[in-house]
Chain A
Amino acid sequence: MIEVQNIYKTFLIPHRVEALVNVSCKIEAGEVVVVIGPSGSGKSTLLRCLNHLEAADSGKIIIEGIDILDPKTNINKLRAEVGMVFQSFSLFPHKSVLENITLAQKVVRKRTKNESLDKAFFLLNKVGIKDKANVYPDQLSGGQQQRVAIARALAMDPKIMLFDEPTSALDPEMIGEVLDVMKNLAREGMTMVVVTHEMGFAKEVADRVIFMDMGAIVEEGTPEHFFTNPENERTKLFLSQIL
């Protein structure tokens, strides 16, 4: 469970940007929440604050009962419980697909070589690229790379998965394969926070949609409510632009 209470985040470099202004939300275990909004609305910043890649300036973020902004919190331990998938995949280019998935298992989870390999093969099978275990990331298509990145995050057995525009850097024909993996994950009951522009995914999979603009949550609700009957003017404007 994630609880965000009144967080603020201001970037000073390269120039002053108020990325998050008094943001509060609550995400229950097993819930799939899709965050949408125009670019620069703070949705990626919110996601990055959830696993402390960005430190919120003030407010409170409580994940699984742990206050992550408390300096005494072991942030590495928390991050192992919160998987993250990036827009640009960020696979380790000097390691093979298998090594990408086993590295953190061995280093962080202290699993043996065999345990981590078993896990890696299980996950590669799950994301449908078992035959690519020994190739290097630059030999894979974008969609395949992103599926490896998902497998890499899942290998840590996270309780929560964060997706930061996972399909934005993909060619259109590859978006489907990545979304399918994510849909399966949602069906299995994973707690997911997804920043995306894929409205189809939001409609089909999301339990709740959060719309952000100018660093604040403007409106939230079920997909049915959100797409058919939005209340806020800015939400209506945004939806009219993209749909």
Chain B
Amino acid sequence: MNQPATIKKSKTASYYAWVGVFFLCLAGLIGALYYSTIKIDYVWRWYRIPQYFIFKEKIDIKSQVVGRISEISYHNGKALIIVKTDGEDKTYAVPEGDIKVSKGEYVNHGYVLAFYEKWKPGILLQGLWLTIKVSAIATLLGILIGLIGGLARLSSNPAFKWASIIYIEIIRGSPLLVQIFIWYFVLGTLINTILGKYGINPIPPLWYGVAALACFTGAYVAEIVRAGIQSIHRGQVEASRSLGMTYAQSMRYVVLPQALRRILPPLAGQFISLIKDSSLLGIIAIRELSKATREVVTTSLQPFELWFVCALLYLVLTFTLSMFVQYLERRTAV
């Protein structure tokens, strides 16, 4: 691939002066923000944030029987505590070192025998994971819907063509928020009620959220796919058809590989939008990153730090995606 030619200019003093102005403005903005938070007596507590990502949970091992500790034996870093009761003896395997009882001690129901600590993901990490999961599934479904929608849009069959046009126009013409409500409160109620009548468990809100995002993205992807296919010269289809390929073969081997290369940048933009739009799913009780942040804000009362962290996490996701697409573009370039 040819690199665009850049003319190297020698940097003048005024260039560096303006670089200085830029950083001064940036520092000024951050300073002003910080100063105003001090003015309203906001206390920054960044050290409280990591616990919402990962924390150590203390788990107690409690006796479920009444009796006396008859034996504590150790092997392979584990301890076996045997509780002698009136009936059958009960044995507990616990991690060595954190034992709270000794031999001969009398234990009752709920008496703590030992405890151990375990790392657990915090609510923000769980929310981040859910955002990634929802976005990834909706992206894959969106590509599938968009590909079918785009091909149907170009079809000469009126049933396919009109269905595709109506789908694209409805989805693009209404707000995503409303579509999420329709998916959850209208379609969700209908489907779950009908499923309930046949004794089938209801589908959790997560999947209605995924469906809403996938259908929304699919409409935009369909238009991108259509434009991509139409941008491939007619001669390519004619050449492949003249060799005896069917329409499907010509699409698969000749047109789509070329179109895909051209539509990668707009597709990436669409999927970056999708990641950001997934923040709307909080309204139907899906605890993705934004909803998780809102919940933490109400319990921790540290909104400033948390919302900045939330924005930063979205930025990390979208930036990673755009880097990945750039890598793909370079790899597929001839």
Contact = CB atoms under 8 A, between A and B. Distances in A.
Contacts of B240: 92, 104
A104 B243 contact: yes
Nearest to A152: B243
A99 B254 CA distance: 11
A80 B235 contact: no
Given A53-B241, A94-B334, A108 B258 contact: no
B245 A104 contact: yes
Contacts of B253: 103, 107
Contact of A79 (B235, B244, B261, B334): B244
Contacts of A53: 238, 241-242
A138 B244 contact: no
The A contact surface, by secondary structure, is: mixed
Nearest to B254: A92
A108 B244 contact: yes
Contacts of B193: none
A91 B236 CA distance: 7
Contacts of A10: none
B238 A86 contact: yes
A86 B243 CA distance: 12
A156 interface: yes
Contacts of B257: 94
A92 B244 contact: no
Most buried by A among B236, B243, B254, B334: B243
Contacts of B238: 53, 86, 90
A80 B243 contact: yes
Contacts of A79: 241-244
A51 interface: yes
Given A90-B236, A136-B334, A51 B242 contact: yes
Size bracket of the B interface = 10 to 19
B242 A92 contact: no
Nearest to A162: B242
A225 B241 CA distance: 37
Contacts, number: 66
Contacts of B258: 92-94
A22 interface: no
Contacts of A82: 242
Contacts of A90: 233, 235-236, 238-239
A86 B334 contact: no
B264 to A, nearest CB: 13
Nearest to A80: B244
B249 interface: yes
A156 B244 contact: yes
A88 B243 contact: no
A107 B239 contact: no
Nearest to B258: A94
Contacts of B242: 51, 53, 79, 82-84, 153
A88 B235 contact: yes
Given A92-B254, A94-B257, A76 B236 contact: no
22 contacts: A53-B238, A77-B244, A78-B244, A79-B244, A80-B243, A80-B244, A81-B244, A82-B242, A86-B238, A90-B233, A92-B236, A92-B254, A93-B334, A103-B243, A104-B243, A104-B244, A107-B245, A107-B249, A108-B245, A108-B249, A152-B243, A156-B244
Interface of B: 233, 235-236, 238-246, 249, 253-254, 257-258, 261, 334
A-B pairs with the 8 shortest C-beta distances?
Answer: A80-B244, A90-B239, A104-B243, A90-B235, A84-B242, A108-B244, A79-B244, A76-B244
Given A86-B238, A92-B258, 6 more contacts: A77-B244, A83-B243, A93-B258, A94-B258, A94-B261, A103-B253
Interface of A: 51, 53, 76-84, 86, 88, 90-94, 103-104, 107-109, 136, 138, 149, 152-153, 156
